[in-house]
Structure formats: C-alpha cells, structure tokens
Structure 1
C-alpha cells in the first residue's frame, strides 16, 4: 500500500516528518481524512486534533491554526502549534482556558488583545480535547 509523507512545521521548526497510511486533519469545514493519491489541495486548518495512522498505530497531536498543502504523496502542515498528547499539561492548560475566558468576559481588551486571547483559548481548548480523549496510560 502506498503512503503519504507528512511534514508538520511550527515556528520552532520541523515537528514531524514521517510516512503514514492516513492523516485526519481539523479543517475549517470539519474533520478531513487524507489518504495517498488525494487530489491536490491547499486549505486552512483550525485548532483541533490531528491523527496519524500507520501500520495499525495511531499518533495524536493537538494542532493550532495554520495551513495544509496536500498532494498525491505528501501532506505539509504549517501550524502555530503541534503537541503530542503526552506533552500537554492538563492542569496548566485548564488554567489558561479559565484566564482567557475571564479576560474575554470582562470585555476590557482592545481589538488585537481580544483576537490574541481568542486564539489562545482555541489552542488551549484543542489541547484539552486531545488530552482528555487520549490520556496516556
């Protein structure tokens, strides 16, 4: 069976470079499954869960906003965040969610601060979703 080469790049550098059987991405229109020989596509991704499947194994990452370029044999994802479930500290992320929600409720933020806080909230909620759904044993 043919495979896809997946590259995940964050501001810190290349986070992952691996061949997989399938990747599931959090697209702006919903979850999107990508197999080898996919039609070429460039689209936006939203904060959420990214799943890599290969040989019966699954890797799960929380990803932030970004873009993905898909071709028949390659998926290149550029994101502001990519964290494996085991890297996520649930208590710290839950605190960040609470602080962001409080800041947004107070409505004292300027337009740019509000947008940055909303983006932080979305990334934090994506991390919590991944952590709570796929807890390490």
Structure 2
C-alpha cells in the first residue's frame, strides 16, 4: 500500500522555495515543535526561525526558515516565510561568517547597534548552519 502524502508548499517574498507531495513535515512553532502528517486537523501558527524537516519516501530533507506562518488545511501544508533555503542551497562558509559577524556585533555592542536586527541575524545564521548539519547527518544515516 502506498504511503499517504500531503502537499507541502513553502513560499517567500522572493520565490516558491519548495512544492511537493511529502509524508511528514516537522516545524518549530512559537509554542514548540509540531509534526504534521496527512489528515492533520486544520491549523494556523506562527513559526520561529529554525529548521523544517521534510520526510518523503523514507528519507529526509532539511530547510532553514526565517520566521513566518504555517497553515494546515485539506492535506496541504503551506509555509509563508521571510526567507527559506534548502540545506543543499546554503553556502556553509557564508553562513559561518554571518554567525561570526552577528556574534561580534552583539559582543561589541556599538552605540548604533540595532540589537533586535543583530539577534535576528544570529538566529538566521544558526538555523542555516543547523540545516546543513542535519542534512549531512541524514545523508550519513543512509
């Protein structure tokens, strides 16, 4: 018997990042981690900057997502995010440099520092690094 699937669509202001039939979606909402399987009850929640894990055909893909919203309705999961990148699209060295820059700015606290923006930049860089690390771990588990 074929596994039951649901549609996952991830959209940012810049592009359609992902669209496919998947088995499971795992996200981090403002109240914690959510696992979404087919036939899930309707739901809308705000997402935090973190990774989204996507399962299809027994394997996992990983995506870094910056803020946004998730809607589940009629076997479709829609993520509207400020930014989203599949792990394989992430430039690891660029993400490491972004993390270091954000940490340095937060540590130095120059007078013109926008702390909220600097902390958001750090969270984005950490999510991108986590996405790459998880994707590598999943590939190694095969």
Q: TM-score, normalised by structure 2?
A: 0.86
The secondary structure found in structure 1 opposite 2:122 is: helix
Partner of 2:6: 4
Work out which of the residue numbers 30, 42, 45 in structure 1 matches 2:32: 30
**2: CA distance, partners of 1:109 / 1:96:** 20
**2: CA distance, partners of 1:27 / 1:122:** 14
Deviations 1:58-114 (A, max 9, x none): 211111111111124111101112111122122211111111111112223557x22
Could you tell me whether the CA contact under 8 Å between 1:103 and 1:109 is conserved in 2? Answer: no
Query: Structure 1 runs of 4+ off > 4 angstroms?
Result: none
- Once the two structures are superposed, the pairs formed by residues 1-137 of structure 1 within 5 Å of their partners are 1-110=3-112, 113-135=114-136
Gaps of 5+ in 2: none
The secondary structure found in structure 2 opposite 1:36 is: coil
**1: CA distance, partners of 2:134 / 2:95:** 15
Could you tell me whether the CA contact under 8 Å between 2:7 and 2:20 is conserved in 1? Answer: yes
Q: How far apart are 1:131 and its partner, in Å?
A: 1.3
**2: CA distance, partners of 1:85 / 1:14:** 15
Could you tell me whether the CA contact under 8 Å between 2:61 and 2:135 is conserved in 1? Answer: no
Could you tell me whether the CA contact under 8 Å between 1:24 and 1:50 is conserved in 2? Answer: yes
Q: How much is the aligned-residue C-alpha RMSD, in angstroms?
A: 1.8
Aligned length: 136
